[in-house]
Structure 1
Amino acid sequence: MHERTTRRDRRNSRWDEHRRARREQLVDATVAAVGRCGAGVGMEEIAAEAGTSKTVVYRHFADRSELHVAVCTRVAAQLTDRLRAALATTDHPRGMVAAAVETYLAFLEADPELYRFVVAAPDRPVDADPIRTLSDLVGDQAAALVAVALEQAGRDPAAAAPWGHGLVGLVRAAADWWLRADRPIPRADLAAHLTELAWAGLAGLLPDARPVPVPDPEEQQ
């Protein structure tokens, strides 16, 4: 009996691994299809890119929204890694703001259609998406940094969440305009303008400009 259960468990484990791998392949295909067809890519184009049918895609993802969430999760992880690496290059608060803004803009400029695909979530209940939007995830990271800055300045960190998300909203709104306007100014200039504006608000939090340690996302969970 125990042997039969073990064999069944192994088969289930192999099947689970196959499904995970297939889902990753379909996310790869979606990213490639977005690159080829743009942010408005349809499920037919995604299935064709994957070399399969929509029926097969829907065996692994309940609907387009679920597939969108999987792509968002991948892109968010990539951006978060890059932001963390950029923030680690300096411990000066203004330098961290500049690094984060530049990294965000460089990320979306490298693949604007994928960025548009990610931030333009399909219609669905808000609580159906575990990460909501890419901006929300980045906003959480920014809020964690602002909370550290407030605590070090001896101030109540309660404002960290609205300020952190507000900073991301500032950058995203400007970045969205920049893409719609076909990048009328160089990325470096836009990054400098946004850094100056963001720092004008944050500088009051750190009158002595002490270094700010980057919070470890794993410790926050």
Structure 2
Amino acid sequence: METTTDGRATRWHAHNAERRRELVASALRAIRKHGPGVGMDDIAAEAGTSKPVIYRHFRDRAGLYQAVVDWVNDFIWNSLGLEGSGDVDPRELVRQLADTYLTLVEKDPEIYQFVITRPPGDTPVDDPVLSITTRIGNQVSDLFRHWLRAQGLDEEPANIWGHGVVGFTWATADRWILTKLRRPRADVVGYIDQLFAPAFDAQRSK
């Protein structure tokens, strides 16, 4: 009997997780269609369901918002294609990171604007920019640390490099938006590479 109960609970958990993914996908479509100020009614209509159903899975708008932020974090990290890779060249890592961030801004501006704007309400919500940059920064720092270790170099710069590169890239993305994406994405990525490349070259020359 206990095994049956556990099996039923596992299937229910898997069903709920899949339903949450579907609702997040619907929210993303609604954001792209209606913009960052999309309402819950629009999201529910896109999902073909009702607001109470959405609240059952996410509690409130803030909960759904956080799920979208998590999706963006996963999108950025997965787009880098570096999961389990410890041998990435640091310059290539910076270029890939910058290009992934700026691609999101260029091709999914509504999603980007939605994520950087915290929803109103009484439910506390983590700062969206800090949430994403901290998580990605920790992951990038680990890759820098592995590279430094493989080179027989001091690992101390890894944390500063990781969080510095991510924070700088996010700030660059914001500035790029203000200029209405005046420079091509490839140029902006190249400028970021030019700025950070000397740090890696200096480490190699030690």
Q: Is the shorter-chain TM-score for this pair beyond 0.5, marking a shared fold?
A: yes
- Alignment match, 2:148: 150
Letter in 2 for 1:49: E
The 3 A distance-change label for structure 1 pair 205 and 119 is farther
Q: Is the 8 A contact 1:87 1:96 kept in 2?
A: no
CA displacement at 1:70 relative to structure 2: 1.7
Corresponding residue for 1:141? 139
Please state whether the residue corresponding to 1:133 is helix, strand or coil.
helix
How far does residue 168 in structure 1 lie from its aligned partner after superposition?
0.8
* CA distance 1:183–1:107, change in 2 (3 Å): same
Residue aligning to 2:61: 64
Question: TM-score scaled to structure 2, two decimals?
Answer: 0.82
Match of 1:54 in 2: 51
Q: Which residue of 1 aligns with 2:194?
A: 196
Question: Residue type matched to 2:153 in 1?
Answer: G
Q: Is contact 1:153–1:206 with CA below 8 Å preserved after alignment?
A: no
- CA distance in 1: counterparts of 2:174 and 2:83, whole angstroms: 22
Contact 1:32 1:49 in 2 (8 A): yes
Cα 1:115/1:9, change in 2 over 3 Å: same
Cα distance change on mapping 1:25 and 1:93 into 2, 3 Å: closer
Percent identity for Structure 1 against Structure 2: 36
The letter for the 2-side match of 1:147 is R
Aligned to 1:182, the other structure's residue is in SS state: coil
Hey, what does 2:160 align to over in structure 1?
A: 162
Point out the more displaced range, 54-63 or 199-208: 199-208
Call closer, same or farther: CA 1:204–1:69 in 2, change over 3 Å.
Answer: same
Is 1:95 the equivalent of 2:92?
A: yes
Cα RMSD of the aligned pairs, angstroms, is 2.9
Q: Secondary structure at the match of 2:180?
A: coil
Q: Distance in 2 between matches of 1:93 and 1:132?
A: 23
- Deviation for aligned residue 1:177: 1.3
- 2:174 is equivalent to residue 176 of structure 1: yes
Q: For residues 50 and 103 of structure 1, what CA distance do their matches in structure 2 show?
A: 28
